[in-house]
Structure 1
């Protein structure tokens, strides 16, 4: 697996496939509108809810797309598994990491999350465009990396200690402790989970190059399964753990919104 994050200055000259992942949870149509106004020349747009989630599923608020849907997305995006791929959003957001996670699940080895955001891209020397990209569709033979995602049943085995490892909740402390819940109908956390707010991964509105506090907080224990409300903000935590050298990291995409449909929760500070 490649190091997840890359800076503009480290992108090699030559053929780079760009993926625009701009999105807004407050206004789901904003990202595609921004893409249609201007984007890196040749970039395709991946929408969190139309491309990177299966909103028809009941397994959480942003459920994992099927393998067939992801394969179709990658093929119509003109991607080949040897391509050098860079995903961007506004910077310091979870949407490019979400797209990167899906590519990692499909064993793309040269996919990267751009450290900078859209404003830095606009000021760079990269050509910009407003036309909708029409890439040549590729046929892919994908071997899926099942080891990086967790089902509810697998998480239950960790909770019951029938399986080893740590559960790490990427949401805010208030949501983790069950003191405040703005989205889900039940407040709290998955029993036994630790907390590491994904916002701690940022500095000055961008993801840090690395986060030394992670290993101190998690004691370098593996395997680690990260989750959040619906698998979106856990994606940057997954990526930063990989950036920090953890090898056995998984993501429970269903997250808390899937867990609470059938399972007990824990809350409080004691």
Structure 2
């Protein structure tokens, strides 16, 4: 295993920089409010909409910020590439995994996702306060890892058969099959994609690390040379990316634009699975 996920029992609080990634898709200000009320001592807050996406850009519902904006985020957060970093949210959510993936993309090699959520952190006695930390700004020169990023062109080349790359759709099966689509222009999936609902990665709101899940991932990925994961907006695919990485799979990419970017092009082909 590559130990992407880390548990409270393995943590010395003072050895890590902390990032609070709490967010709610139903209430976009909830994460900020929770952070202001209480957070891990000295943790910075990274907001999905404000920090981990560029909502003014094209490329799906949650486009990746420009690299300059990400560098600014790292520097004002007081990070260095060799820091040990823990990202947490409410547990079993896709927000810490999105933040973690961005750290991987930028070349932070010692970043981890906390399995437990904030309430478990509190109960475990990790130092908590409501003070805004005084962060000493740093200078960060990322080592961008383009090998984990899938552009639209990369996915198009996959669909056209020009790349030996397997697409995996992390949305619910009902959306993958094209039976319903609550958010995007047209229902269905990127042609040729397999399906693995990211919710299967959890049990009772906590990410699973059991042997059965490892077997399921093995059946899904097998001996495929390259895998690209996507979802609707590039957020809920990150738990699947992180879990594959945790179990030692390499050559994984995230299509950040995901299905919302794919169907933004009017003539983009879409696959559906009709009921038998």
**TM-score when normalising by structure 1:** 0.97
3-state SS of 1:80 partner: coil
- CA–CA distance in 2 between the matches of 1:12 and 1:33? 26
Give 5+ residue unaligned stretches, structure 1. Answer: none
Summarize the alignment of residues 63-82 of structure 1 with structure 2, pairs less than 5 Å apart: 63-82=63-82
Match of 2:222 among 196, 209, 219: 219
Q: Are 1:257 and 2:256 counterparts?
A: no
Q: Is the 8 A contact 1:2 1:111 kept in 2?
A: no
Shift in Å at residue 12 of structure 1? 3.4
Deviations 1:154-189 (A, max 9, x none): 000111110112000000000000101111121100
Q: Is the 8 A contact 1:82 1:108 kept in 2?
A: yes
- CA–CA distance in 1 between the matches of 2:274 and 2:6? 37
Number of residue pairs matched by the alignment: 270
In 2 relative to 1, CA 159–145 (structure 1 residues): closer, same or farther, beyond 3 Å?
same
RMSD: 1.3
Summarize the alignment of residues 178-193 of structure 1 with structure 2, pairs less than 5 Å apart: 178-193=178-193
- CA–CA distance in 2 between the matches of 1:265 and 1:110? 38
Match of 1:232 among 207, 230, 235: 235
- CA–CA distance in 2 between the matches of 1:201 and 1:8? 19
Q: Are 1:268 and 2:270 counterparts?
A: no
- CA–CA distance in 2 between the matches of 1:142 and 1:246? 23
Shift in Å at residue 15 of structure 1? 2.7
Shift in Å at residue 269 of structure 1? 4.1
Shift in Å at residue 62 of structure 1? 0.1
3-state SS of 1:113 partner: strand
Deviations 1:28-49 (A, max 9, x none): 0000000000000100000000
Shift in Å at residue 3 of structure 1? 2.4
Counterpart in 2 of 1:174?
Answer: 174
- CA–CA distance in 1 between the matches of 2:247 and 2:36? 35
Q: Is the 8 A contact 2:170 2:198 kept in 1?
A: yes
3-state SS of 2:86 partner: strand
Deviations 1:87-109 (A, max 9, x none): 00010000000000000001101
Q: Is the 8 A contact 2:2 2:247 kept in 1?
A: no
- CA–CA distance in 2 between the matches of 1:216 and 1:74? 37
Deviations 1:5-33 (A, max 9, x none): 00011123533111000000000000000
Structure 1 segments (4+ residues) deviating >6 Å: none
Counterpart in 2 of 1:4?
Answer: 4
**TM-score when normalising by structure 2:** 0.95
Q: Is the 8 A contact 1:53 1:62 kept in 2?
A: yes
Q: Is the 8 A contact 1:222 1:249 kept in 2?
A: no
- CA–CA distance in 1 between the matches of 2:113 and 2:6? 6
Q: Are 1:202 and 2:185 counterparts?
A: no
Shift in Å at residue 219 of structure 1? 2.2
